[in-house]
Homo-oligomer: A and B are copies of this chain.
Amino acid sequence: MQLQGKRIVGSRVRQTKGKTRVAGLMSGTSADGIDVAIVDITRQKVKLAAFDTFPYPPALRRQILRLCRPESARLDDICHYNFVLGEVFAEAVIKLCSRSSIALSSIDLIGSHGQTIYHNPRGKRYGPRTVRSTLQTGEPSVIAHRTGITTVADFRPRDMAAGGQGAPLVPYADYILLGHKRLTRAVQNIGGIANVTFLPGGCNQSNIIAFDTGPGNMVIDGIIRLVTAGKQRFDRGGKMAARGDVDRRLLSKLLRHPFLRRRPPKSTGREEFGAAFAEQLYRRTASEGITDADVAATVTAFTAKSIARAYRQFLPAMPDEVILCGGGAHNRTLVEMLQNELPEVKMLSTDNFGISVDAKEAVSFAILAWATIKGMTNNVPGATGADQPVILGKIIPV
């Protein structure tokens, strides 16, 4: 019996000596730009071959942010910019190849997260059922056509069809990259929000836990922008925080935030720790005469303490190793504070495993695409709440 479908994916997604070269594309909700990572995946290892970030042109970024709000998003714009973003994503892959002297034709597969313009994980009623939904843009047919590379995209809808929240998806990549037979590990991403993937020793897809621990860089960045009147967008290397002292009274007040007490699975965002939170906090510290450096130290400690407390309260065991990634891994003051809070763990970063902390998210979507093409289920029900493991994504064959 000749199996169908062989030709479509089989003949086009090559695997040279067991190695698959995959490009991963990611653009976050802040719509700053496109992260592109190119990795070589074998059964044993994921090796980063190239990485770069391609900022969106300012006019395009403004347009994307308009697409994200029901009040300003227009049908014709959604349709148009979905295809425009497909072009821009394809160009980013082509540019990275050119910059890093990688032949485009050596890439076997692309995994694209896309640009989320709407996400409704709680769902809305339709008749007797609650329908969850999500909408990513960056037309993958355009990416596949322009690059000539089979593309996997739109990973979130299938998990939502299976009753999940469609997020987080990165824990699967954490499991593939960093799951260990014996050691228990926590992969701690510190982006705007901080989130942890808990990988027990000898873990499998069914005993992984992942949730948001609370603020990552968001409150720190917000405060730095305010105290520098916008001259600095973040505390490079944690230098300002290093000059200050933590205000114990303010810190203990911050740590009473109700999100920190909520049991996982849980997720948070700008609604809770965004610009409004930072502004309110800054007004208070200014009126109380707390110095800028002390405020910076205190909000940095807030992130470190909220991560450490989440581990003690909600993880089934303290990990042997914590592996950091995301921009917060560059903040030395934050990392030191976290190590002080968790003296019993070994503090590492994905750099120690050959994946730069900035590239990690784009790498994750390369890994997700690779799993989809392999026919492997690649959601983590313990992270998304889905009622079963499913294969995520849509395959655009070339």
Contact = CB atoms under 8 A, between A and B. Distances in A.
Interface in A1-45: 1-15, 20
Best-surrounded residue of A5, A13, A82 (most CB of chain B within 10 A): A5
A246 interface: no
A131 B124 CA distance: 33
A79 interface: yes
Contacts of A157: 83, 139, 141-142
Interface stretch (A46-54, A255-263, A388-396): A388-396
Interface stretch (A182-190, A234-242, A289-297, A370-378): A370-378
Interface stretch (A67-75, A96-104, A167-175): A67-75
Contacts of A76: 70, 118, 120
Q: Could you tell me the dominant secondary structure of chain A's interface residues?
A: mixed
A390 B300 CA distance: 53
B70 A74 contact: yes
Interface residues of A, number: 69
Contacts of A134: 79
A224 to B, nearest CB: 32
A244 interface: no
A138 to B, nearest CB: 12
Contacts of A14: 4
A146 B157 CA distance: 12
15 contacts: A4-B14, A5-B8, A6-B10, A8-B395, A73-B74, A73-B75, A79-B119, A79-B135, A80-B133, A83-B133, A145-B161, A154-B394, A158-B396, A394-B395, A395-B396
